[in-house]
Structure 1
């Protein structure tokens, strides 16, 4: 009986630690230091870099099982070459987001049911946040959505450092970090759900749009939210894609004969179709008219243009086109691995797939050695695992192929 009180005290402390807001816990703990963490002196920043970048390293004593191969962790480095933050132990590779409108974020570690994140800007300033169950995402530049505690979603503005908790059914709205970037949002007109609950059971639901003041701008009329760009939201109503305004006015409803593949991009969007089992892609404008010829594949780029892949008797070739279907690169680039056709993207000066660099903008291969991407390229840098002089290494390079950092890959 005399043990009951100490046991009760210990149990209470354990439960308090378990449910303590993780941001508070993070302030009370410091990440363990290790020789594995990159040092500033190892990093040689070439002239001209303007954005933070990532360098890979392997954490020691990581416990791997038969289902997972060792994966690298990453350190965030300022444009001046100073290591600002780094990832710690994680059961899975941490998420590193693209740099968007002056801000980016990455996952640094996990503890209990919370994950730790760092928001960073172009100057190298960082803000640390923690979120429940990987619910952390970047909506649009400075706006972020995360759950600082169970079941409570919050808008956070990285510029003003102001938070806005959501209320009612919205408080459960979350986007897991691994899906960030799959759907684009307008933070000023975001989707909300209206559930139809009968006797405690969810019968159906509809989605609408609200502004940041909580005012409903579009009543719940659509079934799925697909993304936002150029003033229009892409939604599904009764299984069909519609483009609507903030107020819910339908601007365009493309034919069922074509699948909508993108949001509006420089005034047009991408659709796909099939003829005799062959898939083709086209550009369509706001009037529903085709404004390009058929391509084997189309993909929008961050500079308002498109990658257009053509199939010829000699193989697959691609070049950049604008929204008027006019070529903007003078050279054609060959796709040596057509099975990676739908992975083709452009970031900065590099054309790449999920696994390797295809070419740079001058049709030159700045990495003429075996390599694989460790993350998609940043706007100015790329992290790769590569083999040089028979030795396997991992490192970070500029898009011109200049080495910034390198270590042996274990």
Structure 2
């Protein structure tokens, strides 16, 4: 809650332009505005509201929205001298304000329009009547604000007034065209309002209206852009191809534009279209950067993949070449083994052949020996036969022929 005290108005030191600026600035910045008057509500007081009501008329006619542009306005009248007809406090103030703002047939058009504009500009109009605060408060230049210096009647009404002003139901959030202000939005609006009112000329309603729309719609564009940007930031690292770039862009932009379309907006359809185009262009311009980065990343990934594939192909070629060399080596070894086995087999066969030949030779030799022995026996038999025929006899182991 922010409580602001503006300077006193309707004095001999402040110009009409300055009074209008202060009045309209306070009206623009507050959710509850209190105008403290002395004695009665005069017609010139209502005339000072003309600037605010003109602004209200402008926004009502141009915005195409049903809500009133301002929230709560209270006339706080001190030194009220007619408590018999309109008693002190809010109830008497309500009756008095109804009487002041009633549009009478004899009223000139200017007075009628001011009253109608005031009624159509604020959600809530109230009035409270306070008695004379006492001589100490009114006349003593050294009065320091202590309650002890106030008249009893004034103090009693003040004790009723303040709690009601600060009650929960009366402390409403600041709204602009029915939209609740955040701290950030309110700060931006107030800064812009101050910049406008610091100019030397009387501020025109349209400039405030357009500035208000610009600040609100720019803030809406920023929030929608953040929706787009957050989606992109959360998705961009997972992009692996052009289709995903388009999907991220279309989805993020669609979310932002949908947020814009669904949010409450200020101004006319033309204003909405204008700032929608601004959001659209801002997103398109921003996407150039991250799309280029994403595409460069994709190309790098592709190049890395290409190099990895080439390296894999080269490794596969070398593997196959190595396997072929190993196969050839194995085949060579197997061939050598077969040749060696063949040589061993041939040698064995040759050795067997030689053995068989040796056996044959030995058998032949044995046969020849046996044959020789048989021949020798035959010779001996023949000799024995011959010896026998010649009359020889055997003596011992020998045969002899007797003379």
Q: What's the TM-score bracket when you normalise by the shorter of the two chains? A: under 0.3
Is the strand fraction higher in 1 or 2? 1
When Rg is computed on C-alpha atoms for both structures, the one with the higher figure is 2
Is the helix fraction higher in 1 or 2? 2
TM (normalized to structure 1)?
A: 0.18
TM (normalized to structure 2)?
A: 0.19
